[in-house]
Amino acid sequence: MPVADLQTTITLALSVRDRHASAEWYEKMLGFDLLYHADDAGWSELQTKTDVVTLGLGEQAEPAPGNSVPVFGVADIDTARTALEAAGVRFDGPTETIEGMVSTATFYDPDNNALMLAQDLTG
């Protein structure tokens, strides 16, 4: 049995300079559908052509292309994080929460690749 109990969703997070322009590009070029722009959080999300995979666009002044961060959905981020930490997994700082939207926690695999847990708080 795995240490973390992941849900059947995944978000691929990319850093971009202009979320709105990038979202339009993904809509026009790849046929993705805009789910929402969370302007206060600097985040936009699009539905890909794969039902359980979304594309997240994080706006940054200096984006880091090539650094895609898979974001794995969990039902309870505190439980998942505690279990992974107990197994020796390294996390990057505290869990961050945007009230009414999402809680996220960045962690690393043995090769220092960044991954993220996310608990949906919109429900």
**Unique residue bearing structure tokens 């973390």:** 4
The C-alpha R_g of the chain, in whole angstroms, comes to 15
| Positive or negative torsion for Cα 82, 84, 87, 92 | negative
pLDDT in tens, the chain (123 residues): 788 888 898 999 988 989 999 999 999 988 999 999 999 999 999 999 999 999 999 988 887 777 788 898 999 999 999 999 999 999 999 999 999 999 999 999 987 888 899 999 998
- Annotated domain spans of the chain: 6-120
CATH architecture under which domain 6-120 falls: Roll (3.10)
Report the alpha-carbon distance of residue 110 to residue 61 in Å, rounded.
29
Which one, of 22, 5, 4, lies nearest residue 13 by Cα? 22
